[in-house]
Chains A and B, each alone.
Chain A
Amino acid sequence: MIRRWPYVALTAVVAVAVAIWAIPELDQRAFFGYVPTNATPTMLPSLSLDTRVLPDSAKVMLLAAGVTLLVQVYSTAYMGKDRRYRSYALLIVLFLVAMIAVVATDNLFVLLIGWEVMGVCSYLLIGHWWEQPQSRAGAMKALVVTRFGDLGLLVAIVVIGQTYGTYSITGAWVGAADQGQQHGTAIGLLVLLAVVGKSAQVPLQTWLPDAMPGPTPITALIHAATMVAAGVYVFARLLPLYGNDTTVMTALAVVSGVTMLLAALFALVQHDLKRALAWSTVSQLAYMFAAIAAGAADVGISHLVSHGAYKALLFLGCGVVMHAVGTSALSAMGGLRTTLPATFWTMTIGFAALAGIIPTVGFFTKDRVLESIHVATHGETPLPGGVAWALLVVAYVTVFVTAAYAMRLWMLTFLGLPSKQHVEPPSMTWPLVALGVACLALSIGEPLDLDTAALSTLVALAGIAFAWWRQDADLPGPVQRPLAAELGLDHPITRLIPAGTIGVARVADAADREGIDVYPRGGAVLAGLVSSAVRALQTGRVQVYASVIAVGAFVVVLVGVIAR
């Protein structure tokens, strides 16, 4: 028997430390309330341990620590009999530490390291059940796709360092404030590439749903509350370096608009609860990016926190359901209202928050996102007015679709006739209760704009009514089929999305079969040829070597003489 509670205690210690550290920072509300004045420039890629916790960083840290703690508690029941529990639990703690490093640090290289460690942890956790082929495939896909995005972050960091002469985030802020944003477009687009990968936005969205074979608590932790959120957070954190750049903001708006609607539609037609929730995450992340594109980073972070709470709730609830039913297929569910009462009530709150029903926190933060996009249509932000209008329309349509799929999932899971009796282990239900309470409690004191609230509620109710009307019927075939196939964006990714992703996806596949043979296979032909040629000269005959040296001497002499 593996002793499980020490890991919970360890997580709790970290969480308490985070709380003690972060709570005093919460007093300011605005992300940009902090005006940096002085910064010590560090030119070399040093790894200073400086931290800078802003109010919104504190929120994200508290969210991460809280959800991690609950997940750890939950896992004692969910994963209790797993023989690799020890590495699982420790990886979760490592993951939290990396997340905190990303959120709290003031040094871009520490940020990069934390970012990479998160990627590796998530790889290992998704692939926790590596005996299953789809687990391995999903894990490898997540690693390779996010790593592709990570290249963007690495290059962005170097560009920032070269532009502002420092690798301190605060230092770069000061630089951008003093001399104006330089190379904003380049930096912004590079960071965008990174976060698009990490937060699973179009066109690098495919890894997140495929990561679902991982343990469900991990899904709740990584793919709802922390890792994907880190993408949003980092983009907001570095915003002062490119926030005025129209190109970057427009690109962000386009990415988020496309992603939010597309992912919501995918969620609407899923027959798998967990996968539907995964697409829902992608869609909600796009909301956060939309808020940032509209120039309201703090609104985006608020939605991040609220989404973290209710999506963790939903995933953990989904875990209870899967634990009871034994599968995540919606067809196997139904009638769980009476057999899993605690799960039913808490998940109802979760779905309400997802659909944006008052008085849950999801309602308020989503409304603020809509409100901020509305403000952006006045044309006072770097986002062009037309783009903002389009984004606003898409966002409202997405509200409709979101409410519809939330209702649909809720109905299919809980309504109907009970099948047989199930059990809810207490250590799995009380994290749900805690999160359910949080979903309601966090809405206390949130501001309310009546016009937006009325409109969005109307739209959401329409969506719910739509779902009630359709019941569990699929959409009409011509709509249903391509959406259920996720527009084919995943499989023959080859035709729709530019070269980079293709190679990555293919290589990921090959890599999975061969261990890691990534590059040798990627560049097999050229490398193979040259490599053979180089090695063909290694005949073992000394005089051939000496000849090579002599020829080489001639060549370099020619280089020297000609270059002169």
Chain B
Amino acid sequence: MPLLYPLLLSSALFGIGLYGVLARRNAVMVLVGVELMLNAVNLQLVAYDAWFAETLHTGQVLTLFVIALAAAEIGLGLAIVMAMFRATGSIDVDEADRA
């Protein structure tokens, strides 16, 4: 399989994720964009790892870490969203930040 396939897929996901982060009005949806970006990174790491086929599995280990970090980030992010909702009654990004 050409190495380029996963890499191009990764590029596309990264761009879509970035768009989601920058454009969505709902804070939760912004987080969805973040997840897409991180998945793009993971795809690249795994692809390189498979390509190098090294025993250290650096790529896959880092991918594992990134998944864990993403989970932590999303947890904290949702907590902030909840707090924001309680404080302002809205999770509209445009409104909340000007408060």
Chain A residues in the interface with B (C-beta under 8 A): 539-543, 546-547, 550
Contact = CB atoms under 8 A, between A and B. Distances in A.
Contacts of A550: 18, 22
B92 to A, nearest CB: 11
9 closest A-B pairs by beta carbon, nearest first, are A540-B97, A540-B98, A543-B22, A541-B97, A542-B97, A547-B22, A546-B22, A546-B21, A543-B93
Contacts of A543: 21-23, 30, 93
18 contacts: A539-B98, A540-B97, A540-B98, A541-B93, A541-B94, A541-B97, A541-B98, A542-B93, A542-B97, A543-B21, A543-B22, A543-B30, A543-B93, A546-B21, A546-B22, A547-B22, A550-B18, A550-B22
Nearest to A541: B97
Interface string B1-37: 0000000000000000010011100000010000000
Contacts of A542: 93, 97
Contacts, number: 19
A542 B31 CA distance: 13
Contacts of B93: 541-543
A539 B97 CA distance: 9
A258 to B, nearest CB: 63
Given A543-B22, A543-B93, 12 more contacts: A539-B98, A540-B97, A540-B98, A541-B94, A541-B98, A542-B97, A543-B21, A543-B23, A543-B30, A546-B21, A546-B22, A550-B18
Main DSSP-derived SS at the B contact region:
helix
B40 to A, nearest CB: 14
A28 to B, nearest CB: 75
Nearest to B96: A542
B22 to A, nearest CB: 5
Nearest to B98: A540
A221 B21 CA distance: 69
Contacts of A540: 97-98
A358 B21 CA distance: 91
A140 B68 CA distance: 62
B44 to A, nearest CB: 16
B77 to A, nearest CB: 12
Interface string B61-99: 000000000000000000000000000000001100110
A527 B97 CA distance: 27
B35 to A, nearest CB: 15
A411 B21 CA distance: 88
Contacts of A539: 98
Contacts of B98: 539-541
B38 to A, nearest CB: 15
B84 to A, nearest CB: 11
B27 to A, nearest CB: 9
A461 to B, nearest CB: 84
Nearest to B21: A546
A239 to B, nearest CB: 64
A550 B23 CA distance: 13
B24 to A, nearest CB: 8
Nearest to A547: B22
B18 to A, nearest CB: 6
Contacts of B94: 541
A540 B30 CA distance: 16
A210 to B, nearest CB: 51
A256 B21 CA distance: 70
**Which residue among A540, A543, A550 has the maximum number of chain B CB atoms within 10 Å of its CB?**
A543
A518 to B, nearest CB: 35
Contacts of B22: 543, 546-547, 550
Nearest to B99: A540
B81 to A, nearest CB: 12
A31 B30 CA distance: 77
A542 B98 CA distance: 9
A547 B30 CA distance: 13
Interface in B30-57: 30
B97 to A, nearest CB: 5
A541 B21 CA distance: 13
Nearest to A545: B97
A352 to B, nearest CB: 79
A181 B30 CA distance: 67
A14 B54 CA distance: 77
A178 to B, nearest CB: 58
